[in-house]
Amino acid sequence: MLYDHFPSSIHEDLIIALGLELPTARQAAEPPAPPIQALTRDPKFRDTVLTAYEHRCAFSGFRAALGGSFFGCEAAHVRWHSQEGPDLVSNGIALEPTIHKLFDLGAWTLTDDHHILVSSKFTGTDETIARIRDRHNKPLREPLNEDHKIDRKFIQWHREKDLGGVFRGPALS
């Protein structure tokens, strides 16, 4: 059920919140039962999205490398893969893991013209609030290639409840 309905970035949170038991090491080593209708993932999605954004978080600009290898950013689906979001670069965005999780949880979303909207319900420490809320109404960092910009239909899915969206509006004023 987790794999069919939720992005992997929030699986652990859901398991804990629901009080479910994690599988034992032995159970984890056993192959899982095949899903009834598995969604096939494109193995190139991650690399294509990260390359499009130069391995830089589109929200914060964070980018790190060590020994020529980039790390610290993930390829996120705007319309979740589990909700029929395709593995297209126009449905992808490079994000730091925490920013990715906040996006999947609906703490922030995007306007149709790629500006950041932060939920008025988002809270945290002073530093966290400042870091996230300071990006409200600011433009998202765009990919190198104009053709790789996030498609409006995927943004609208993420933002609009009636389309399935997860944004926890209203946005800050």
Question: Is the pLDDT confidence value at 46 over 70?
Answer: yes
Cis peptide before 170 (omega within 30 of 0): yes
Rounded CA separation 109/154 (Å):
11
Residue 81 · residue 7 · CB < 8 Å = yes
User: What's the pTM value of the predicted model, to 2 decimals?
Assistant: 0.79
> What pLDDT is recorded for position 36?
46
* Tally of structural domains, the chain: 1
- Residues 6+ away with beta carbon under 8 Å from 149: 90, 114, 142, 143
Question: Is the pLDDT confidence value at 33 over 60?
Answer: no
Q: Can you read off the two tokens belonging to residue 140?
A: 């998202």
Rounded to the nearest integer, the mean pLDDT of the chain is 88
CB-CB neighbours of 135 under 10 Å: 19
Question: Is the pLDDT confidence value at 136 over 80?
Answer: yes
> What pLDDT is recorded for position 94?
98
Domain contains 143: yes
Give 12-21 pLDDT, tens digit per residue.
666 656 666 6
> What pLDDT is recorded for position 13?
64
Confidence bin at 142 (pLDDT 50/70/90): very high
> What pLDDT is recorded for position 41?
85
Domain contains 10: yes
- DSSP class of 111: -
> What pLDDT is recorded for position 99?
98
Question: Is the pLDDT confidence value at 26 over 70?
Answer: no
Domain contains 170: no
Q: Which residue has the higher pLDDT, 38 or 114?
A: 114
Domain contains 169: no
Domain contains 155: yes
> What pLDDT is recorded for position 125?
97
Listing DSSP states for 113-170 in one string gives TSBEEEBTT----HHHHHHHHTTTTPBPPPPSSGGGSPPHHHHHHHH-GGGT----PP
- Residues 6+ away with beta carbon under 8 Å from 46: 74, 75
Domain contains 35: no
Domain contains 90: yes
> What pLDDT is recorded for position 27?
55
Confidence bin at 62 (pLDDT 50/70/90): very high
Q: What's the CA angle centered on 32, arms 29 and 33, to 5 degrees?
A: 150
Domain contains 138: yes
Q: Can you read off the two tokens belonging to residue 20?
A: 């479910």
Percent of the chain past pLDDT 90, that is, above it, reads: 75
Q: What's the CA angle centered on 10, arms 4 and 12, to 5 degrees?
A: 100
Q: Which residues form the domain of 76? A: 2-21+40-163
